[in-house]
Structure 1
Amino acid sequence: MKPTRSTYSDYQYFCMRLQPLLEIAYEPATIPSILDRLFAVIGENLYIPTGYENPNKWTENNVTLITYGDSIYSRHTDRKPLEVLAKFLGENLKDTITGVHILPFFPYTSDDGFAVSDYLSVNPQLGDWEDIKTIARQFNLMVDVVLNHVSSKHDWFQQFQAGKKPGCDYFIVVEPGKNLSEVVRPRNSPVLVKVETVDGEKHVWATFSEDQIDVNFANPDVLIEFLKIIRFYIVSAKARYIRLDAVGFLWKEIGTSCIHLPPTHAIIKLLRELVNMIDPEVAVITETNVPNRENLSYFGNRNEAHMIYNFSLPPLLLNAMLQGKSDHLRTWMMSMPPAPLGCAYFNFTASHDGIGLRPAEGLLSDEEYQSLLTTMEKFGGKISMRKKPDGSESPYEINISLFDAMKGTVKGEDTWQIQRFICSQTLMMSLEGIPAFYIHSLLATPNDYERLQQTGMNRSINRYKWQIEDLQKDLEDPHSPRSLVFREICRRIKIRRQQGAFHPNATQYTLQLKRSLFGFWRQSMTRDQSIFCIFNLTDKPQQLNLRDVNLICIDPWLDLISGEMITDIYSKYILQPYQAVWITNKF
């Protein structure tokens, strides 16, 4: 049931919510016109009172898969990749995952989809909108809004070069002599790109590459354009999650770092308000691959992102598994605040990008940081660099299949790869937040050296494309790494989804155990279930003193993963190498 309508008129309420945010980014004289235009875009989809928002958009049942539209394809049939993906998901994961993040499925010119040339079309090589809607009918769909930049082949930029409206006003032109030394760079490419226009040579802002030209949100027309795009994704494509890609770089002011600026945060808050007006069940997630403190700022005051990526988790978890000790992971967890009411962490260990290193800044010792890089290179990984404001370079991310990243420890390769990998995924899905699995983690995909060689892009090493017939054959082989990992992780996901203590906002408390173990306590929102999540991070059996866990003697206890009953809470419990336990009082 919808809440009672506000006593304000629709438009008055609309203005009351949005005007303070617009005032942070735009000139006062322009704001009445901007409000009129925003109101017109939402039109018949406007939902008032806009103050209503469901703070319980998720439960312990929510689990997300991250995939490209063509991560699985068929070379033996005429079926498009999105059809193949929909069939695979329906047959293998319908009872396991609840959401699917399909990475940019639009026409594009580079960066595997993140240089979008048409936001309102589906790449015909992948399928069409009906294929997207088929997946959205079965799973909660997450759609990328690549709003910092467009492809150099997008109509807007073609209009810019031709001096035609509206695109001629959508981009940032900078004289090449300007001092841009303070600008934070995620890449080594120049921040300015020289292009030819009808008015001669110009230099335009390009944060990521010469084919990804930044749009100018200081022009409110750009804001209006992206609201139209977001509205289409929610209303027509039935998206349940709107992912704001690279949003931290949105606003540019020469003389500043051009990242996390106040107008950027104001526009995210504005978009959250507008999304809530279109459909209060839709969530906004920000992608900001930056140090932890900066990343946390995107929750705002419960009024910005509904979800933020837990970017510090992948490098810290990987380091803990390689070192066999929990020191830094435990210190980090103890410093992490609970997500605000109505917000959640989006937990992951791998993605289409590499394992970001900036989120680990200040969280690892110099020695362990260097050991992490050296070990990853030994296991076939690549290290991508970024240029700092002073002109020097520093590691930006590790590019490697996470499965191959777990083929050993800092001591070298060993025979524990599968157990170590499953332990890492179990730890991730136990944490406060919503778990997300990159498809190549779920499938234990190794490094793709062939694709790396073909593209020359380090990130290609973890973007393998499975031929469906080969994949099915592998999954049917009970002894293949793919089958072993896929079946066990899916089994644990299904167990997890039934536990109230794994609600994304359920209480989490770090346990003080010996460094070879990592553990924390989760308690359900109703306080009727506790789960003690404990992990052996080493290749040796480890003894756990159950007194350290503080089990209550009046309750029976069970490890949900193994099914083993805990009959003596004062005994010693032996965890085998890389064993994970979920010890609960409610089963």
Structure 2
Amino acid sequence: MTDATEHLQQRVLHHLATIYRDVEHVDDLEAIMARILATMRLDEVNSTPEHFINHWDQQDVVLITYGDSICGQQQQPLKYLHQFLDDHCKGIINSVHILPFFPYSSDDGFAVIDYSSVNDALGDWQDIEAIADDYRLMADLVINHCSSRSPWFQNFIKGSGTGSDYFMTADPTDDLSQVVRPRTSPLLRETETGNGLQHVWCTFSHDQVDLDFRNPEVLIAFISIIRQYLDSGVKLFRLDAVAFLWKIVGTSSINLPQTHECIRLLRCLIEHAVEDAVVITETNIPNQQNLSYFGNANEAHWIYNFSLPPLLVNTLVTGNCRYLKQWLMSMPPAQNGTAYFNFIASHDGIGLRPAEGLLSEEEINQLVNTMASFGGCVSWRTADHGQRKPYEINIALYDALQGTINGPDRWGEQRFLCAHSIMFALEGVPGIYIHSLLATGNDYEKLKHTQHNRSINRHRWDDQALAEALADDRTQHSKVLGHMRRLIDIRTKQPAFHPNATQFTLQLGGQLFGLWRQSLDRKQSIFSVSNVSDEPQLLNLGDINLIDNIDWFDLVAQEKVDLSGMEMELAPYQTVWITNIF
């Protein structure tokens, strides 16, 4: 046995002992450890991965998409997606997050029936592996719950077979008053089973039944799934809704210590199997709780920067960056081996929980009302003591930025591009939703058909209609895609935009949002300044301490900066990226 193998065994045993410390009837941890390592094919290892290594740089940009965001008559959707990536993203976007591509029963994929299969309406494993050959692939590990139509849950109903003891149950008389959830539906689902009436825990919906990780068999089942995904080319693992993983009656059942320990175990196994694989936690919760999922560079490699979407949209519709600056100045730099995952649009919506404590209740209500006036929907949650609070705004980002709190205006496209210019400049890895790349608006037809608020931002493009829209340079889709490609191309060539490069927030007033980024070798500086208002603003170049005996260049405008007057006028929603190396 190698020293590395012995070290791995001891680490896995330690994680298991911590996870199952208070669980009765789980005592043969060595046997569980042996099964886990055999499942991951880690019976013998020759090295121990380092925690503080960055397996990413400024060239990493992730496209977020459903497997069927583009459909047609001639071939299956995953092939259309691969063609779109090759035609429009190759050379500028190197990674793709394909949202759950498995057979499912609801929630557009997040109620998984079978984790081991590709939804045949999308394609097959060959299609997935072909994309993974050309792009760094992120896949969802929907780990908190599965579909009520899954074979596991059907065996639970029968009372026998694999899965019959995989699900979390509680008694209606239990004290569940502290449980934190993002939904208003009843927590428990009555289910007649071969073992009598059971009340199944459902954090999200009654079709999404929560798994019980107190049973080690559930953990081993998911480790087997992870091994299969690695073998199919998955390099980035998005742990969906992982904050709710461990439940204890009488507690909030969110962010529990056992949940963090499970993530540490999964990271340990994944990075021993594939050293440059990445674990990313999807924890749509208040900011400080979210930060805890970095651990000490031993939990998530990346965490979603969930506070960014509501704060950035609020900045651009109010014309004031005060709250965005306050938040950014409070954010610790991600240490090596970790990074923020920045996004401003997703398949869900603009989460509001991560804005709690950062925006006042009045600011949140103003934002909600403004988005509603732009055609958006609002999803609600049950807070403490049964209080109903807004949880999420559902709206396409292109429509969300069509105007300000005063109403729609003529600056929508510029405001939309300004939002992305800011995101591309921030510390972290940027993720772009395909419908932002394509400037897709609200899909009211899909919303009407499904009656689910999130459908408004889950449009399915017909391949021919998309081709025609992109071929016409007068459409918003063509114009935005061209601008976005250009910005990303510039970004990926700048060492100062490395996800872990130094970042300082500049103090330039309420209407100018500024950052200073410096490359890891300290050779390149970039001053990113954006006018977040609908009026021209003067930038005093002395305020950003430009040294006047060297040349400075605006990467966005592709022109030398004139220092003679030491002032620069920024048009509404204009961004400059001023650098000393170009």
Please indicate the TM-score interval, normalised by the length of the shorter structure. over 0.9
SS for the counterpart of 1:419 is helix
Alignment partners' CA distance in 1, 2:564 and 2:216:
63
User: Within 5 A, what are the aligned runs for 1:193-232?
Assistant: 193-232=189-228
* Residues 222-262 of structure 1: per-residue CA shift (max 9 Å, x gap): 10000000011012x11110110000000000010000000
Aligned to 2:257: 262
* Residues 493-537 of structure 1: per-residue CA shift (max 9 Å, x gap): 001000000000000000010111100100000100000000000
Q: Confirm or deny that 1:447 pairs with 2:445.
A: no
Alignment partners' CA distance in 2, 1:46 and 1:230:
18
Q: Confirm or deny that 1:19 pairs with 2:19.
A: no
Alignment partners' CA distance in 1, 2:361 and 2:40:
51
Q: How far is the alpha carbon of 1:167 from its aligned partner?
A: 1.1
The 8 Å contact of residues 50 and 273 in structure 1, kept in 2 or not, is answered as no
Q: Relative to structure 2, which stretch is displaced further, 315-324 or 384-393?
A: 384-393
The 8 Å contact of residues 182 and 257 in structure 1, kept in 2 or not, is answered as yes
2:411 alignment partner AA: W
2:60 alignment partner AA: N
Alignment partners' CA distance in 2, 1:122 and 1:474:
30
2:84 alignment partner AA: F
User: Within 5 A, what are the aligned runs for 1:450-469?
Assistant: 450-469=445-464
Q: How far is the alpha carbon of 1:364 from its aligned partner?
A: 1.1
Aligned to 1:303: 298
Quick one: which of 88, 97, 104 aligns to 1:101? Answer: 97
Q: Relative to structure 2, which stretch is displaced further, 296-305 or 549-558?
A: 549-558
Aligned to 2:339: 344
Aligned to 2:63: 65
* Residues 195-244 of structure 1: per-residue CA shift (max 9 Å, x gap): 12123321111111111111110111110000000011012x11110110
The 8 Å contact of residues 233 and 239 in structure 1, kept in 2 or not, is answered as yes
Q: How far is the alpha carbon of 1:385 from its aligned partner?
A: 0.3
Aligned to 1:38: 36
Q: How far is the alpha carbon of 1:344 from its aligned partner?
A: 0.4
The 8 Å contact of residues 470 and 478 in structure 2, kept in 1 or not, is answered as yes
Alignment partners' CA distance in 2, 1:585 and 1:172:
57
Q: How far is the alpha carbon of 1:301 from its aligned partner?
A: 0.8
Alignment partners' CA distance in 2, 1:7 and 1:191:
48
Q: Kindly tell me: are residues 250 and 335 of structure 1, through their superposed partners in 2, closer, same or farther at Cα, counting changes over 3 Å?
A: same
Alignment partners' CA distance in 2, 1:318 and 1:21:
40
Q: Confirm or deny that 1:334 pairs with 2:329.
A: yes
Q: Confirm or deny that 1:321 pairs with 2:320.
A: no
User: Within 5 A, what are the aligned runs for 1:73-84?
Assistant: 73-75=71-73, 77=74, 79-84=75-80
Q: Relative to structure 2, which stretch is displaced further, 365-374 or 138-147?
A: 365-374
SS for the counterpart of 1:574 is strand
The 8 Å contact of residues 2 and 46 in structure 2, kept in 1 or not, is answered as no
- So what's the TM-score if we normalise by structure 1? 0.97
Aligned to 1:3: none
Q: Confirm or deny that 1:472 pairs with 2:472.
A: no
Alignment partners' CA distance in 2, 1:452 and 1:59:
38
User: Within 5 A, what are the aligned runs for 1:108-147?
Assistant: 108-147=104-143
Quick one: which of 253, 263, 279 aligns to 2:248? Answer: 253
Q: Kindly tell me: are residues 516 and 44 of structure 1, through their superposed partners in 2, closer, same or farther at Cα, counting changes over 3 Å?
A: closer
2:131 alignment partner AA: I
Q: Confirm or deny that 1:172 pairs with 2:168.
A: yes
SS for the counterpart of 2:80 is helix
Alignment partners' CA distance in 2, 1:46 and 1:123:
34
The 8 Å contact of residues 53 and 276 in structure 1, kept in 2 or not, is answered as no
* Residues 22-67 of structure 1: per-residue CA shift (max 9 Å, x gap): 1221147231121111121122685432344571210100000000
Q: Kindly tell me: are residues 99 and 9 of structure 1, through their superposed partners in 2, closer, same or farther at Cα, counting changes over 3 Å?
A: closer
1:384 alignment partner AA: S
- So what's the TM-score if we normalise by structure 2? 0.98
Quick one: which of 578, 584, 587 aligns to 2:579? Answer: 584
SS for the counterpart of 2:225 is helix
Q: How far is the alpha carbon of 1:292 from its aligned partner?
A: 0.3
Q: How far is the alpha carbon of 1:165 from its aligned partner?
A: 2.5
SS for the counterpart of 2:164 is helix
Q: How far is the alpha carbon of 1:570 from its aligned partner?
A: 5.4
The 8 Å contact of residues 157 and 193 in structure 2, kept in 1 or not, is answered as yes
Q: Relative to structure 2, which stretch is displaced further, 466-475 or 38-47?
A: 38-47
Q: How far is the alpha carbon of 1:568 from its aligned partner?
A: 1.2
Q: How far is the alpha carbon of 1:7 from its aligned partner?
A: 5.5
Q: Kindly tell me: are residues 316 and 30 of structure 1, through their superposed partners in 2, closer, same or farther at Cα, counting changes over 3 Å?
A: same
Alignment partners' CA distance in 2, 1:182 and 1:419:
44
Structure 2 gap ranges (5+): none
Quick one: which of 539, 556, 577 aligns to 2:534? Answer: 539
2:149 alignment partner AA: K
1:288 alignment partner AA: T
Equivalent residues, number: 578
Alignment partners' CA distance in 2, 1:22 and 1:14:
12
SS for the counterpart of 1:167 is coil
Q: Kindly tell me: are residues 46 and 120 of structure 1, through their superposed partners in 2, closer, same or farther at Cα, counting changes over 3 Å?
A: farther
The 8 Å contact of residues 4 and 45 in structure 2, kept in 1 or not, is answered as no
User: Within 5 A, what are the aligned runs for 1:354-433?
Assistant: 354-433=349-428
Q: How far is the alpha carbon of 1:266 from its aligned partner?
A: 0.2
Q: How far is the alpha carbon of 1:96 from its aligned partner?
A: 1.6
Alignment partners' CA distance in 2, 1:494 and 1:581:
15
Alignment partners' CA distance in 2, 1:43 and 1:292:
37
Q: Kindly tell me: are residues 506 and 569 of structure 1, through their superposed partners in 2, closer, same or farther at Cα, counting changes over 3 Å?
A: farther
Q: How far is the alpha carbon of 1:569 from its aligned partner?
A: 6.2
The 8 Å contact of residues 246 and 287 in structure 1, kept in 2 or not, is answered as yes
1:42 alignment partner AA: M
Q: Kindly tell me: are residues 424 and 46 of structure 1, through their superposed partners in 2, closer, same or farther at Cα, counting changes over 3 Å?
A: farther
1:20 alignment partner AA: H
User: Within 5 A, what are the aligned runs for 1:475-486?
Assistant: 475-486=470-481
1:56 alignment partner AA: N
The 8 Å contact of residues 187 and 387 in structure 1, kept in 2 or not, is answered as yes
SS for the counterpart of 2:27 is helix
SS for the counterpart of 1:43 is coil
The 8 Å contact of residues 551 and 569 in structure 1, kept in 2 or not, is answered as no
Alignment partners' CA distance in 2, 1:569 and 1:180:
67
Q: Confirm or deny that 1:488 pairs with 2:483.
A: yes
Alignment partners' CA distance in 1, 2:358 and 2:146:
34
Q: Once the two structures are aligned, what percentage of the paired residues are identical? A: 52
The 8 Å contact of residues 2 and 45 in structure 2, kept in 1 or not, is answered as no
* Residues 290-339 of structure 1: per-residue CA shift (max 9 Å, x gap): 00000000000110000000000000000000000110000001000001
